[in-house]
């Protein structure tokens, strides 16, 4: 499939350390494979700062809910770190740098970060935690990425995140927003967690609606 002859953009508001974002990323993978001409915006919400953690029981309850609604099971490597603080600050810095400087690799990087965190139990909390990923992808992020505070690029992007959340009338993450020309469509990712490929039909349906509406005007 290819994107029709109109402007199409996909906005994914997420956090690399959010389990719901982890199970929604496969939907992004399917959409970008089916419609490679869609302009993808990966906007890290930087929600986890190591200070706003819920207790371990709450985290486990959330994982139980995620597993119940998907075909994904979280391994013990990840569950073993649930009692530790969660900070996605360095990942937010790195992903924002990648989105701005090497967007063609940004989704690959996000998948790698989530795999490291949710499948290998890598906290991604210090620079050395990223070494293998950086080496594999052959990227060269600047030193400022690994300072334990959100850098200016992330803060600027967060302003865009807040503006988009206001348009969507929700601060929930993850969130998927499809933009077709001037039309904005909030995609309900909950419908596709079991079968991520099914979201392709949903996006195609929105494209067809836009075509028909364009023909009428």
pLDDT tens profile 109-131: 999 999 999 999 999 999 999 99
Q: What proportion of the chain, given as a percentage, has pLDDT over 70? A: 95
Mean pLDDT of the chain: 92
Tokens of 212: 């028909």
pLDDT tens profile 18-42: 999 999 999 999 999 999 999 999 9
Higher local confidence (pLDDT), 214 or 192:
192
Higher local confidence (pLDDT), 209 or 199:
199
- pLDDT computed for residue 87 by the predictor: 94
Lowest mean pLDDT among 10-14, 20-24, 58-62, 94-98: 58-62
- pLDDT computed for residue 210 by the predictor: 85
pLDDT tens profile 131-141: 999 999 999 99
Q: Is residue 5 pLDDT above 80, yes or no?
A: no
Q: CA of 9: how far to CAs of 85, 161, 177, in Å?
A: 34, 15, 8
Q: Is residue 71 pLDDT above 90, yes or no?
A: no
Mean pLDDT of 78-88: 92
Structural domains in the chain plus CATH codes: 8-203 (3.40.30.10)
Confidence of residue 3 (pLDDT cuts 50, 70, 90): very low
Strand order, beta sheet including 175-180: 39-44, 8-14, 175-180, 183-187
Distance CA 33, CA 176 (A): 16
For the chain, counts of helices (H) and of strands (E) = 8, 4
- pLDDT computed for residue 1 by the predictor: 53
pLDDT tens profile 161-184: 999 999 888 889 999 999 998 889
Contact 37, 67 (CB under 8 A): no
- pLDDT computed for residue 90 by the predictor: 98
């Amino acid at each position: 499939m290819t994107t029709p002859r109109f402007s199409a953009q996909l906005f994914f508001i997420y956090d690399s350390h959010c389990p719901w974002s982890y199970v929604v990323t496969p939907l992004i993978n399917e959409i970008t494979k089916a419609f490679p001409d869609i302009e993808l915006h990966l906007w890290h919400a930087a929600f986890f700062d190591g200070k706003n953690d819920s207790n371990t029981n709450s985290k486990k309850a959330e994982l139980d809910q995620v597993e119940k609604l998907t075909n994904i099971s979280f391994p013990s490597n990840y569950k073993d770190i649930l009692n530790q603080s969660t900070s996605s600050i360095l990942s937010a810095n790195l992903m924002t740098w990648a989105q701005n400087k090497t967007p063609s690799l940004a989704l690959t990087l996000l998948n790698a970060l989530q795999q490291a965190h949710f499948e290998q139990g890598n906290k991604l909390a210090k620079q050395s935690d990223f070494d293998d990923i950086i080496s594999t992808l052959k990227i060269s992020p600047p030193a400022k990425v690994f300072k334990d505070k959100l850098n200016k690029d992330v803060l600027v992007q967060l302003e865009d995140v807040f503006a988009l959340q206001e348009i969507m009338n929700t601060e929930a993450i993850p969130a998927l927003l499809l933009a077709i020309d001037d039309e904005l469509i909030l995609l309900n990712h909950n419908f596709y967690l079991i079968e991520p490929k099914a979201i392709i039909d949903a996006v195609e349906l929105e494209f067809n609606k836009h075509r028909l509406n364009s023909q009428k005007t």
